[in-house]
Amino acid sequence: MKKIEAIIKPFKMDDVREALAAVNITGMTVSEVRGFGRQKGHTELYRGAEYMVDFLPKVKLEIVVADDDVQRCIDAIIETAQTGKIGDGKIFVTDIERVIRIRTSEEGPSAI
């Protein structure tokens, strides 16, 4: 099993969710996060004063899938989240040793 974490632009969230549902990925955790990479933030104007906004709003998706579903998941995220502009985000894939469903104590892929 793998955990896919994707940091994307907030306005792409609905499109990504629909694309993942189309490839039969239904469970995910979504968090509103803030951060920056090469984008380095931007300046804004407030009451005539200019100030730097270092941390930009992003959405973080966390999805745990079977090894066979990883590439379909990544492809769906890239196809829908990509705008071709700086700040499109990142995808991180890590190994998951063990998954346990609390309600039934099921373990492994059936607990996803």
Residue-wise pLDDT tens digits, 34-74: 887 776 666 666 677 766 667 788 999 999 999 999 999 99
Q: Is the pTM of this model over 0.75?
A: yes
Q: Is the dihedral of CA 26, 22, 78, 43 positive or negative?
A: negative
Q: Quickly count helices (H) and strands (E) in the chain.
A: 2, 6
Look at the chain and report how many structural domains it folds into.
1
Tens digits of residue pLDDT in 80-91: 999 998 889 999
CATH number of the domain within which 78 lies: 3.30.70.120
Containing structural domain, residue 37 = 2-111
For position 44, what pLDDT does the model report?
A: 62
Is residue 7 classed as helix, strand or coil in its secondary structure? strand
- Please state, for a pLDDT cut of 90, what percent of the chain lies above it: 69
Locate 68 and state its tokens. Answer: 């066979």
Tens digits of residue pLDDT in 35-46: 877 766 666 666
- Please state, for a pLDDT cut of 70, what percent of the chain lies above it: 88
Locate 31 and state its tokens. Answer: 């968090």
Lowest mean pLDDT among 59-63, 77-81, 108-112: 108-112
For position 40, what pLDDT does the model report?
A: 64
Lowest mean pLDDT among 24-28, 40-44, 105-109: 40-44
